[in-house]
Structure 1
Amino acid sequence: MKKGVVLLAAESVVMTVIILTLAIMVGRLSASAFPVVSKLGVQIIAELLAFGCWWGLNRWYPKAKVSWRGHGEPHQWVLILPVIIVLLGDSTLNPQFNLSLGPTLTAIMVGLSVGLFEEYVFRGVLVSALRQRYHLGAVMTAFISGVMFSLVHLVNVSNGSLTMTLVQMLEAIGLGFFFAAIYLVTANLWLPILAHGVIDGFDALAFGALSNTAGMSVWTSLIYAVVFGAIGYWLLKTKRYAVKIPTSSGSHVDFSSHQPQRRPAIQRQPVPMIKTAVAIAIPLAELGLGATVVAVTTNQWLRVVLVDLIFFAGLCTALYLYRDVLVSHWQRYKHHLGTGLLVGIGGVIAAYVLLTVIRQGLNLIGVASAGSASVMSIQTAGMALVASLTTLMAPFTEEIVFRHALFYQWRGRGAVTWLMLIISSVAFGLAHWNNFHGQLVQMIPYMCVGALFGLIYYFSRNIWQAVLTHFLFDMIQVIAVIAMFILAIVSQG
């Protein structure tokens, strides 16, 4: 299977979880501001917001051409009748129907909003993209759609038992495969949206929530998976129905420019020593001048502004020195922004896990000191926000200096290449000298993170992948500072 297929499928799950989590947070804030919004109302708001986010994301990547109405055959609606099996099965789980007008309308809206969002992502975008970009067969496309749809339900383990979550995931595989088959043979996304909406709307009306796992068993879910998998396979293979989602987009979008390009071979290039020396001087100058500013300036606001200006000068110098590398790498990287974002998110998760493990290991052997507060943490909220500008500039400057000048441009030199990885990682950790007040032990975890960023650059062969990963890593700290600033304003209001 092509690597792009795996990355696209995984990205559909990761981005869905992230987007839906943020959308639920917004929905809960709405409920706090407007107490009349119920729990199901929060669900509706979250699903619609998430749909809007994914609709916008698809215009950027993967640019799948989603077919909403197909060719309009009037008999297509009969293909969704098998969902009656689920309704009959769920009716045996002791439902508590409330058929008054308000709950009924809410249940209908919940079902349609959930169906709209999840079907748009896993059938409309994912199925269309797999066919249009990678020319997968219909059965394999439907199978991947069902598996990814199932994996999203793994997040439900936080609200219930692992066993019930796995039971729900087993059912989701079969239903996801069946919904994908309907979309493939009709090119009408509204049919799986309606089928999905009927099931979820029924559960919301019968149980007051989108959980029908009470009383469910592995055997019940296995029956659902087998029955709907068989029906879906029959739809895709029977001669009565032709697959109508083609393996070409049929639109004016030029997918050829997004096809995987051959990775450039690692070649041994001469190292420009003068540029390298100037690059090395940038973090040294930032450290020295920053320490001087702190020593000779008593006004805290003046300190922050001067340090920001020093880092900005370093950023401009680094960008000017290696502008040719940045431009040439960007020409390749811009065609894979979606994949790059997924790799970047994975890199951030790996970096924070690595930080935690290294720090815990140092604590266990008794060599880690207690304090690790940075200069920014002792500033007022306003100064911390201004000081965080250096955090936004750092990924660009530091990746150019430590990952490119001190490591990547030394590739193809055997043991020297990996020696430079160690040197650049140690230097990256030492560059945080002022942040940890010279406590060397506190810099060791950042040396390890520097090595991780170096490996990301080495295997991606693109500096922008390292920059994006580093930027997302630092952005979490900036978001924390912004939150602190907002809380300070609220508390003083």
Structure 2
Amino acid sequence: MKIKNSPILLSILFTLLAIVFPFIAGVIIAVKNISSLSFIVLIQFIAFAVGVLVTLWIMKKSKFSFQDFGFRKFKAEAWMAVIVVSELVAFFNGIADQDGFSAQYVLILLLFVIAVGLFEEFIFRGLIFKYLSAKGLKTAIIGSSILFGIGHLAHLAAGQDFLLTLLQVVFACLFGLVCAEIVAKTKSIMFPIIWHATHDFIAFLTDSEPNVLSVSIYIFHCLVLIGLAIYFWRALFPKKAVMNLKNPESYV
């Protein structure tokens, strides 16, 4: 079986590619025993920035155009307001108070989340979504979101708590599902990139210590994602009209 003719195998390889660059950054940080928060984020930014360039090169060398991958403008729609409000809710948990938190750190963090948003969306809602589309739109949406969630299992290699990682995987699957549906609906990858970067930026800025409020906000975000997922799914795949038995010529 040729890899280029297997959308599923290609998608798995792209998922592994998404893990490689943050893994390299983690190794460098660990080997060099780097403790500076700003320096850690800077190394991660460089790794993801290289990943963005590599991904763009792969896209250019593929049989698809950049427009095929969703490099298109998008129009503002009402559902976007729901996403904006749900993200701003996280600020109720307060701004994170940690060592090394400075204006310089915030600037580097902004660059980092932009690189992450670009890289991961190019991989999962760009390459993987497009190649899996050969198997059908539903396969592309569900498959890309599951692989996006599975990709977050890599946090276990960094020693992260299993339960916390599991929660991140579940959230990532939901987030990926909605992003994939948005790409399917708008034919553009631009809004998911902006949303992804914004979500990560707010997540890093706000307090993530486990407490009643933070857990409540997490549950709220999950419920919003589930609601959006259902909304977009119904819009993309409306139920087929059912013939009215009393009047065969009419449909309900």
TM-score range, shorter chain: 0.7 to 0.9
Equivalent position amino acid for 1:111 in 2: V
Would you say the 8 A contact 1:149–1:176 is kept in 2?
yes
Matched to 2:149, the amino acid is S
Q: Which residue of 1 aligns with 2:142?
A: 143
Deviation of residue 116 (structure 1)? 0.6
Residues 18, 101 of structure 1: CA spacing in aligned structure 2 closer, same or farther, 3 A cutoff?
closer
The question of whether the paired residues in 2 share the 8 Å contact of 1:167 and 1:217 is answered with no
Separation (CA, whole Å) in 2 of partners of 1:21 and 1:200: 18
CA distance in 1, matches of 2:169, 2:94: 21
Q: 1:27 to 1:223 in 2, by over 3 A?
A: same
Q: CA RMSD in A?
A: 3.5
Letter in 1 for 2:152: H
Letter of the 1:15 partner, please give it.
L
Per the alignment, residue 49 of structure 2 pairs with 48
> Hey, what does 2:195 align to over in structure 1?
195
Tell me if structure 2 keeps the 8 A contact 1:109–1:201. no
1:178, distance to aligned residue in structure 2 (A): 0.9
The structure with the largest alpha-carbon Rg is 1
| In the alignment, structure 1 residue 16 sits paired with structure 2 residue 26 | no
Q: Quick one: distance in 1 between partners of 2:74 and 2:163? A: 41
Aligned length: 225
Cα distance, 1:147 vs. partner? Answer: 0.6
Q: Counterparts of 1:303-452 in structure 2 under 5 Å?
A: none
The CA distance in 1 between the partners of 2:200 and 2:40, in whole Å, is 15
2-side partners of 1:165 and 1:90: how far apart?
Answer: 19
Q: Partners in 1 of 2:30 and 2:184 — Cα distance? A: 36
Decide which moves more: 16-25 or 43-52: 16-25
Query: Of 119, 122, 127, which aligns to 2:121?
Result: 119
Residues 391-447 of structure 1: CA deviation (Å, up to 9, x unaligned): xxxxxxxxxxxxxxxxxxxxxxxxxxxxxxxxxxxxxxxxxxxxxxxxxxxxxxxxx
Rounded to whole Å, the distance in 2 between the matches of 1:56 and 1:187 is 21
Alpha-carbon distance between aligned partners in 2 of 1:80 and 1:111, rounded to the nearest angstrom: 20
Distance 1:223 1:75 in 2: 22
Letter in 2 for 1:232: F
Amino acid at match of 1:153: H
- Percent identical pairs in the alignment equals 17
Query: Contact conserved, 1:123 with 1:189, CA < 8 A, in 2?
Result: yes
Counterpart Cα distance in 1 of 2:37 and 2:173: 36
What is the CA distance between 1:66 and its match in structure 2? Answer: 3.6
Provide the rounded CA distance (Å) in 2 between the counterparts of 1:151 and 1:36.
27
**In the alignment, which residue of structure 2 is the partner of 1:39?**
40
- For residue 38 of structure 1, what is the amino acid of its counterpart? F
Structure 2 regions of 5+ residues with no counterpart? 240-252
Contact 1:164–1:213 (Cα < 8 Å) also in 2 = no
* Matched residue SS, 2:6: helix
Structure 1 Cα separation of the partners of residues 121 and 103 of structure 2: 27
- Cα distance in 2 for residues equivalent to 1:118 and 1:224: 21
Query: Is the counterpart of residue 180 in structure 1 residue 180 in structure 2?
Result: yes
Structure 2 CA distance for partners of 1:228 and 1:38, relative to 1, 3 Å:
farther
Change (3 A) 1:8 1:69: closer
Q: What one-letter code is carried by the residue in structure 2 that aligns with 1:184?
A: A
Question: Scaled by the length of structure 1, what TM-score is found?
Answer: 0.40
Shift of 1:56: 2.8
Measured in 2, the distance between the counterparts of 1:155 and 1:112 equals 20
Q: Structure 2-normalised TM-score?
A: 0.72
Code of the aligned partner of 1:9: S
